[in-house]
Chains A and B, each alone.
Chain A
Amino acid sequence: MQLGADDLADYAQGCAILGSGGGGDVGAAVLQARAAIEATGPVRVADLDEVADRELVMPIAGWGAPTVGIEKLGSGREGEHLAAAVRRWFDAPVAAVMAGEIGGGNGVLPVAVAAQLGLPLADADGMGRAFPEGQQVSMYVAGLSPTPAFLCDEHGNLVTLEPSDGGWFERLARAVTVSFGGTAIGADFVMTAHAARGATVRGTVSLALMLGRAARDGGVQGVLDAGAGVALITGKVTDLERRTTGGFARGTVTLAGTGSDVGRTVTIHVQNENLLAIEGDRALAVVPDLIVLLDEATGVAVPTERVRFGQRVTAIGLPCAPVWRTPAGLAVAGPTAFGFAHGYTPVETIRA
């Protein structure tokens, strides 16, 4: 499979859906990926089985504050610097680029990096969605070490980190990002293809492309069919509450049912991403399953910051990657990790 310039809009829409309301804007990443593909050609998407056991997979993610990122665009050479650092450390070349987080703009950025490096993009990522914190990745759940991790900026500065655990990694990466001036591009959990096969969420690049195409061709129903999703409610936004605390956008979105859902009310709790959908005292969908608001008419994902009163949306639940349903996965990214008292029940087993 290949990702060409003409696939980017669908792919980015799929990444926005997997962002589950968060994951950051895809717009600038699409422009960057388009520029890179126009310069070097389409990106080959490779299943991890196609990469030899001992070859290296380099996960890529952007760090930093969106308010800074809208000014401080990259040089387009960050991937080159990171790949060179990986090569120096491991004495082996990078064989494939991977998204650390498929949801939102971080799902699109690795396409640009893969194009610039002339490398395949692994059909996998570390989340299968978007999450707010660095340790909420499948590689961490699988017990892999983030060491070594590399961070670089657009001026060619590069820092190698050897944190002793995930907590230190978050803390040190944050300090480096601050000194770069608020943004960084990082490669962490660099691993062999053999390790990656058991430690990542597989097939998510294909999934994003499929979801984006399904939204374009089939709207909400297309997304439900393609993602094995569950419609939670179709309705309009009747109440919105937003606040920013501790660096996170928190709040609630209340939907009043329309059409066959008249009389129902569903409230969605948000912390960067949509985390919990509740009707009365009953949970309809719970993190780590994905809760996505889709424009009722077009099937386009509505990110948290663009939800507005009166908007007609369908809230859907998509099953998360199996790793998040294990005890170890739920400990890292289940409802209790976000401070909710609700237990976790897979979304497809709850009857709306």
Chain B
Amino acid sequence: MPEPLRVGIDVGGTNTDAVVVDRHGVVHARVKEPTTADPVDSIATALRTVAAGRAIEQVALGTTHAINAIVQRDGLARVAVVRLGAPGTLAIPPFAGWPSDLVRAVRGDVLLARGGVEVDGRIHPLDPDELRRFGESLGADIAAVAITGTFSPLDPEQEEHAASIFAEVCDLPVSLGHTIGGLGLLERENATVLNAALGEVIEHVVDGLEAAAASLGPHVGAYLTQNDGTLLSPAFARRAPVLTIGSGPSNSLRGAAAITGRTDVVVVDIGGTSADVGILVGGFPRESSVGVTVGGVTTNFRMPDLVSVAVGGGTAIAEGRLTSVSVGRRLRAESLVFGGSTPTLTDAAVAVGRAQIGDAARVAGRDDLQPALAEAEAIVADAVDRMRLSRGDVDLVVVGGGGVLLGDTLPGVRTLDRPDHADVANAVGAALAPMSGEAERIADVGDGRRAAEIERCLDEARERAVAAGADADRLATVWVEEIPLAYMDRPLSRVRAKVAGPARVAPSR
């Protein structure tokens, strides 16, 4: 029997890419389909085409559905918001700092309920009647409930208790803060509310993915990719759709790692409108140290740390200089090499012989475009520079369709690698995404307990990874963090850990 293969699918605004790879990252087949109005159709078509006649064990999908719904305020559910923490936390109400159009789309009834947990483990009791009355009072326009309690990542029991009370009095999906985000009450609450609002948006995509995977055979695993570039099961994705919003950049970065076999390298992904520079550390994207803003809302999601600059294949050139405008998807209509009238960076790349796209004769002798290309290179070199972890030159991997814009040398770059299949790195990253687990504790690290407490946190993370479907024997530590807390009567630290590893192979039939 041939080695089982994996499919990765990347649904973009223009194209849906699908690749078949083996476990070593070798690409066996690839296909590009135009993304259809209902993307589920292009997912099914791409999968059918690329998988034909091959033994597939797993399909993984990277999708921008959830982030698009938030950015476009489209299809979001109205959410009742419950915070457990009163009389604390009343100084800043839910939805503080949200854009007003998103508030109008999402805000339902709000309850600041008694309860909450302290950092030292003390619990302020709930008032079950208060929650019951609120649940019973909710109108028909409310489609979901978001519950967030203070310090719930450290002690989720009270959020779960509150959820059980709601289950008795109303039949609504409930999102719980500790399943969505880490410490930082407002940011976790924001993410939990967004998650609740996304319930129906993701449902259709997950159903379509499962049906498409099932059509390949009864034991084909279906997964979605999440913010950190690891896999979510369909069941988990339905409960936590907001975790899929940042998967795109992670998939590109990890795809670049897989194709090149490099684990510590800077990656630039150049598309039609922008270039994103990120860095892989130990095979994983380095995560940003500050929370990410999603559709104007502050969250505490850890997403790949990216520097994005407005340099892409469609970036327009005016009077020999770069502009901030991109022709984007209209490249094949508006750029010079395709017979249009807008000079773009693609035209400049063709003019100097870096790219063979469209009709090179149309840009013959256009030396005036060259300064803009040099300008673009300088901007990318600058972004690469900002991603460095230490002094000295870096190794750079170039992926994405716009990679041809760059020459073979850049200031500050030691080696520049343009691997095969660089234009489908995103789908390759999805295909090879591992499973992960994270844990977070406030631990007493005094009297030499530090190592044991860190190990305990790692164990929790491992348990979660295995519960998500990872192979327990092949887990590796992604990061461990320890932040000592001041103003405590004991040496307490906030300890966090993340592990990841490949999915368990499906049992043989």
Closest to A32 in B: B91
B483 to chain A: which residues have CB within 8 Å?
A: 67, 244
* CA gap between A76 and B93 in the complex, in Å: 10
A31 to chain B: which residues have CB within 8 Å?
A: 92, 96-97, 186
B391 adjacent to A35 (CB under 8 Å)? no
How many whole Å from B300's CB to the nearest CB in chain A?
A: 9
* CA gap between A65 and B120 in the complex, in Å: 13
Selected contact of A28 from candidates B92, B118, B389, CB within 8 Å:
B92
Contact digits for A38-77, partner B, Cβ 8 Å, 1 yes 0 no = 0000000000000000000000000111011011111111
Q: With A310-B387, A311-B386 known to touch, is A75 a contact of B90 (CB < 8 Å)?
A: yes
Closest to B494 in A: A67
Interface residues of A in 307-352 (CB under 8 A from B): 308-311
Number of chain A residues close to chain B: CB under 8 A: 43
Contact digits for A20-34, partner B, Cβ 8 Å, 1 yes 0 no = 000000011001101
* CA gap between A178 and B118 in the complex, in Å: 11
A247 adjacent to B486 (CB under 8 Å)? yes
Interface size class of B (residues with CB under 8 A): 35 or more
B486 adjacent to A75 (CB under 8 Å)? no
Closest to A184 in B: B487
Interface residues of B in 477-492 (CB under 8 A from A): 483-489
Any A CB within 8 A of the CB of B63:
no
Contact digits for B360-398, partner A, Cβ 8 Å, 1 yes 0 no = 000000000000000000000010011111110000000
How many residue pairs link A and B with beta carbons under 8 A? The number is 123
Q: With A31-B97, A31-B186, A182-B488 known to touch, is A238 a contact of B91 (CB < 8 Å)?
A: no
Closest to B305 in A: A308
* CA gap between A155 and B122 in the complex, in Å: 13
B485 adjacent to A310 (CB under 8 Å)? no
B119 adjacent to A71 (CB under 8 Å)? yes
A198 to chain B: which residues have CB within 8 Å?
A: none
Any B CB within 8 A of the CB of A154:
yes
Selected contact of B120 from candidates A28, A154, A181, CB within 8 Å:
A181
* CA gap between A231 and B473 in the complex, in Å: 56
A73 adjacent to B92 (CB under 8 Å)? yes
Any A CB within 8 A of the CB of B346:
no
Any A CB within 8 A of the CB of B89:
yes
A71 adjacent to B485 (CB under 8 Å)? no
A65 to chain B: which residues have CB within 8 Å?
A: 485-488
Any B CB within 8 A of the CB of A88:
no
A187 to chain B: which residues have CB within 8 Å?
A: none
A177 adjacent to B487 (CB under 8 Å)? yes
Any A CB within 8 A of the CB of B183:
yes
Q: With A71-B183, A75-B90, A310-B385 known to touch, is A178 a contact of B488 (CB < 8 Å)?
A: yes
A34 adjacent to B96 (CB under 8 Å)? yes
Closest to A68 in B: B119
Interface residues of B in 279-296 (CB under 8 A from A): 289-290
B487 adjacent to A75 (CB under 8 Å)? no
How many whole Å from A283's CB to the nearest CB in chain B?
A: 24
Any B CB within 8 A of the CB of A96:
no
Q: With A75-B87, A174-B487, A247-B486 known to touch, is A35 a contact of B290 (CB < 8 Å)?
A: no
How many whole Å from A66's CB to the nearest CB in chain B?
A: 8
B88 to chain A: which residues have CB within 8 Å?
A: 72-75, 153-155
Instruction: Pick the most buried of B91, B184, B382, B489: most chain A CB atoms within 10 A of its CB.
Output: B91
Closest to A174 in B: B487
* CA gap between A310 and B119 in the complex, in Å: 37
A72 adjacent to B391 (CB under 8 Å)? no
- Not counting A31-B96, A72-B118, A74-B88, a sample of 8 additional A-B residue pairs whose C-beta atoms are within 8 angstroms of each other reads A32-B91, A35-B96, A67-B494, A73-B91, A153-B88, A156-B87, A308-B386, A309-B385
Closest 7 CB pairs of A and B: A76-B91, A310-B386, A154-B88, A73-B89, A74-B91, A181-B118, A65-B486
30 CB contacts below 8 A, A to B, read A28-B186, A31-B97, A32-B91, A36-B91, A64-B487, A68-B485, A68-B487, A71-B150, A71-B151, A71-B183, A71-B185, A72-B151, A73-B88, A73-B90, A73-B186, A74-B90, A75-B89, A75-B91, A76-B90, A76-B92, A77-B90, A174-B487, A178-B487, A181-B118, A182-B120, A244-B483, A247-B484, A309-B386, A310-B385, A310-B388
